[in-house]
Structure 1
Amino acid sequence: MDELAEDRELLPATRRALRHRIAVAQSTGRAPSVVAAVLRGGEVVWEGSRTSVEGHGPDGNVQYRIGSISKTFTAVLVMRLRDEGLLRLDDPLDKHLPGTAAGHVTIAQLLAHTGGLAAETPGEWWERTPGSQRPELADVLGEEPFKLAPGSRHHYSNPGYTLLGSLVEALRGRPWEEALRAEVLEPLGLDRTSGLPQAPHAGGWAVHPWADVMMPEPLEDLGLMAAAGQLWSTTRDLARFAAFLLRGDERVLSAESVREMRRPAAPPEPGLADLGYGLGMQLTAQGARRLAGHSGSLPGFVAGLWMSEVDDVAAVVLANCTSGVPASAVAVDLVGIVADAEPPFPSPWRPFTAADQVPLDVCGPWYWGTSAHVVRLLADGSLELGPVAGSGRNARFRSEPDGSWTGLSGYYAGETLRAVRREDGSVSHLDLASFVFTREPYDAAAPVPGGVDPQGWRGIG
């Protein structure tokens, strides 16, 4: 049997553990229904559901409302505008959407919830209020839109994503949902994701906290707030979306752009973004495992979508109850169950081919002063620089056509690494952000800043 095909099948014990976790979530959360899916290696490897209410038996094709996971879709649209050169993330909002009370806040701050805007809209609870009652952005922001100084800290803001939805509409010249369908949903094949519910879909329920009785929740069209929480989707569609957020898709966003979305752009906020907030994505941890994703809730529904890049595993959990089921925590648990029980096999080692350009003369040990570092050439042609022992300034570098390398991570992100050569073509030293790395500690033959004592190394006496 093909090794990859065999590895797509989860072990019986793993499948049982996943079913058990969903059963516990539905029972203790007192949910009419819970539906879930797990993605590994870019493919759905498990689907499960639990229900005890007649007429609520779901599968991966039944729509649930996903609440604030809609924000990640909105962030993808904004990143597309950035990649097309129509805006910069450090642009103030009023450069592209003038006339709001938040015009000096940058687009990046809105994406990462660091703009200082209020968490909610003024007036009635917007999630249970018809969107027609908020006809203008001024009605969304109110007379006092700011609670904190922009850029001072992470403060989750639903109105901030309403501004981003309006920004998309202003630059695309069409409604947010139309842009989303044309630019994201259709290219990725998410034909069961929509602004309004499409059959088959679950009904939203409130479950009484002290008695086993239920009451239907209203299903409001959110109007201007749509970009913050309007969408309905299925576990199968969200699993495809998770695969995109892990790998990218050139029809929508590159792998590098979705990786940028998963990097911290705001400081941690315990209980909401434990490791910070990216560009439209929450960041959290399960032990040593780092995860990216988003939670979602609207009256009648809770949702969670979480992924581990290292494990190449993602999970989606949806339930149709206002509270009770910690959908995000359950999704994180599902990722952990699979990743811990069935860790991925590493890719087989393969040498470079004869046609590859292999810069061996920059590989190996180098010294920054007396600190020993090593440069390694990775399989994708990039370089990795880091200390030989202990923690320090680890970084990865992308090769450039002129023979230099550009930092992709860590302290040296964006900085240029150059191999400075002698007249005979041999490498004298590495130059990196004014630092000189030499083959020997304080090599007298290299231009070490400040020079090298002419007596060289010596003992005492």
Structure 2
Amino acid sequence: MTTPQEELLPGTRRALLHRIAVAQADGRAPSLVAAVVRDGRAVWHGARTSVDGHAPDENVQYRIGSITKTFTAVLVLRLRDEGALDLEDVLEKHLPGTGAGELTIAQLLAHTGGLAAETPGPWWERTPGSLRPELADVLGEGTALHPAGRRHHYSNPGYAVLGALVERLRGAAWEDALRREVLEPLGLDRTSVRPQAPAAGGWAVHPWADAMQPEPTEEYGPMAPAGQLWSTTGDLARFAAFLMRGDARVLSAETLREMGTPATPAEVADLTEGATYGLGMQIQHRDGRVLVGHSGSVPGFLANLTVAVADDVAAVVLANCTSGPLLGQVGADLVRLVAEAEPRVPEPWRPLREVDRSVLELAGPWYWGTSPSVLRVTADGLVSLGPLSGGGRRSRFRPNGDGTWTGLEGYFAGELLRPVRRPDGTVDHLDLGSFVFTRQPYEEGTAVPGGVDPEGWRGIG
């Protein structure tokens, strides 16, 4: 069960209900369910109309389509974190004979391998997987439509390949590995490859009449890792909480941040929409927020999982119709409603537990050329360096234990920050990837590349 809904203010709950009611009515969805996650747990659940004569709750299954890909990506990243593979490994190293062996695992995860969007032959989502019993039937001939690594081209068969990779390295079916490594540790007991009652039926709604007909529910065979799963708002709320915080039994928060970091060259159309793709995660910029997660669409069902990590808010929206409500926009709106009506209360400021004087000595203003920057020492054990005001290059740095620091983001991600000391032990300057930061602009006597004019600063005259 979800946490009591009284945790959200009445006005917020009313706004959330209104938003899904409009989506269900305007989108003409047979039913629509949603949940909101905050502080790591579900704080609201809403539903419109009925499934089998009853209002659907957080335990009714819907098919979630391509949200399945995020689950498959989690399995692949687990293998990477265990050292069983490297993301830059070519597929042939671990899964020979596919015909796509020159592609890297990272390219498959990010849809940059150039593979076709769909399988050869009939529409795979509306025909039995027995028509494609082997991986070769999924990939077909002439697998590359685009040069590998050059552009983002969404590929469902690419995730079938990743599912086969998991099976090869685990020596177990994708379904079994998923259950053992992800579903059971996270308590997702209502997420499954096949529907388990209570489950919604999938419907096609006539575009010009208020009439419906049922959609077929097929087994996808080798394509299952791309879109087979069924789940509930209750389970996906728990999965969203995991994506925000990590779980040592499954994946670390650091690896999940990597999954939600852009890994693809964005198309012009994607840039216009503020959208890109990470490693099994879609990334969008909406309402001034970075949203990660995934959408899903198979005949009879629509699904969306949206996470705003900075706001610590996530939304899940499911509907049992082939087309209609724009669930990506609904999910973004649910996140925005909560984040704006009840903004996250920041953690209290706390001082450092211990002061390292060799680090404290680095704090304060520094100059790159004539541009003033400031280095701050923070209670989380990191330092940050960025412009004193306005925009520009900035990053946090983690200590390496030898007096140097490594950049964590932006232009300086992975770059080494090294305090250079004089013979008496005092700091002469900071070296950051060959950039020299001095205590005064072009400080005389410091190792400024190209030297400092011996006459120093002067006026015009």
The bucket for the TM-score relative to the shorter chain is: over 0.9
User: Following superposition of structure 1 onto structure 2, how do residues 354-365 of structure 1 map, counting pairs within 5 Å?
Assistant: 354=354, 359-365=359-365
Q: CA deviation at 1:205?
A: 1.0
- Report how many aligned residue pairs link the two structures: 457
Instruction: Name the residue aligned to 1:212.
Output: 210
- C-alpha contact 1:33 1:320 (8 A) present in aligned 2: yes
Could you tell me how far apart the structure 2 residues matched to 1:138 and 1:190 are? 32
2:352–2:378 CA contact under 8 A, matched in 1: no
More divergent stretch after superposition (414-423 vs 36-45): 414-423
Q: TM-score, normalised by structure 1?
A: 0.96
Q: Which residue identity does 1:319 align to in structure 2?
A: A
Offset, 1:126: 0.3
Distance 1:154 1:274 in 2: 14
SS at match of 1:310: helix
- Residue 182 of structure 2 is matched in structure 1 by 184
Counterpart-to-counterpart distance in 2, 1:355 and 1:460: 46
Query: Can you give the 5+ residue segments of structure 1 that lack an aligned partner in the other structure?
Result: none
Residue identity (%): 69
Report the CA distance between 1:433 and its aligned residue. Answer: 0.8
**Residue 455 of structure 1 pairs with residue 455 of structure 2:** yes
Paired residue for 2:288?
288
Residue from 66, 69, 72 that aligns with 1:71? 69
Corresponding residue SS for 2:310: coil
* CA distances 1:346-372 after superposition (whole Å, capped 9, x unpaired): 111111224777821111111111111
User: TM-score normalised to the size of structure 2?
Assistant: 0.96
SS at match of 1:362: coil
What amino acid is aligned across from residue 281 of structure 2 in structure 1?
A: M
Partner of 1:42: 40
The farther-off stretch of 315-324 and 55-64 is 55-64
2: CA distance between counterparts of 1:135 and 1:118? Answer: 18
1:32/1:56 contact within 8 Å kept:
no
Aligned to 2:228: 230
- Cα 1:43/1:255, change in 2 over 3 Å: same
Counterpart-to-counterpart distance in 2, 1:267 and 1:326: 25
Q: Which residue of the partner structure matches residue 117 of structure 1?
A: 115
2:376 aligns with: 376
Q: Which residue of 2 aligns with 1:96?
A: 94
Q: How does 1:187-336 map to 2 (within 5 A)?
A: 187-269=185-267, 270=269, 274-336=274-336
Q: Name the counterpart of 2:164.
A: 166
The alignment's C-alpha RMSD in Å is 1.8
- Provide the rounded CA distance (Å) in 1 between the counterparts of 2:251 and 2:216: 35
Worse-matched range after superposition: 117-126 or 359-368? 359-368
Asked whether the equivalents of residues 100 and 138 of structure 1 are also in contact (C-alpha less than 8 Å), the reply is yes
Paired residues of 1:268 and 1:274 also in contact (CA < 8 A): no
Distance 1:78 1:212 in 2: 43
> After superposition, where does 1:5-154 map in structure 2 within 5 Å?
9-51=7-49, 55=53, 57-154=55-152
For 1:270-311, what per-residue CA distance to the aligned partner results, in whole angstroms no more than 9, with x for missing partners?
469733101101111222111111100111100000011111
Write out the 4+ residue segments of structure 1 that deviate beyond 6 Å after TM superposition: 5-8, 355-358
The amino acid across from 1:50 in the alignment is: R
Mean CA deviation greater in 348-357 or 420-429: 348-357
Alpha-carbon distance between aligned partners in 1 of 2:5 and 2:394, rounded to the nearest angstrom: 32
Over 3 Å counting, the alpha-carbon distance change for 1:215 and 1:15 in structure 2 is: same
Question: In 2 relative to 1, CA 150–364 (structure 1 residues): closer, same or farther, beyond 3 Å?
Answer: same
CA deviation after TM superposition for structure 1 residue 445, in Å: 2.3
Aligned equivalents of 2:241, 2:358: Cα separation in 1 = 32
Kindly provide the CA deviation profile for residues 387-430 of structure 1, in whole angstroms up to 9, marking residues without a partner as x: 12222111111112212111110011111111122233221111
Q: Distance in 2 between matches of 1:6 and 1:361?
A: 49
For residue 396 of structure 1, give the secondary structure of its aligned residue in structure 2. Answer: strand
